[in-house]
Amino acid sequence: MKSSAALGIGEAAARFGLAAHVLRHWESAGLLAPARAAGGHRRYGPSDLTRIGMITRAREAGFGLDDIRAMTAAADPAGRREVLAAAAPNCSG
């Protein structure tokens, strides 16, 4: 996908079977930071779509948004493992 072919919020949400308000919530929670086009419209590029997929899978695995934020903020694999180990007891599933 070319960067100029970024998706709008409705298209990005539909690609993952989500409502647009879910992506807006994830953005307000600090999990997403899509680019903005003229008029302030959100534009989701390839890296944003990858992140949405990762968040979706983590949610399906039972992780909360705080745990997902901590995992994505971890600078290295060891840091992510620490977050996973600490969050595992809190996960359902």
Q: What is the per-residue pLDDT across 55-89, written as a single tens digit (0 to 9) for each? A: 999 999 889 999 999 988 888 888 888 888 887 76
CA distances from residue 8 to 3, 27, 40 in whole angstroms, order as listed: 12, 14, 11
Average pLDDT over residues 33-56: 95
pLDDT over threshold 50, residue 1 = no
Lowest-pLDDT range of 3-7, 49-53, 54-58: 3-7
CB atoms within 10 A of CB 79: 13
Pick left, alpha or beta for residue 39 (phi over 0 → left; psi -120 to 50 → alpha; otherwise beta): left
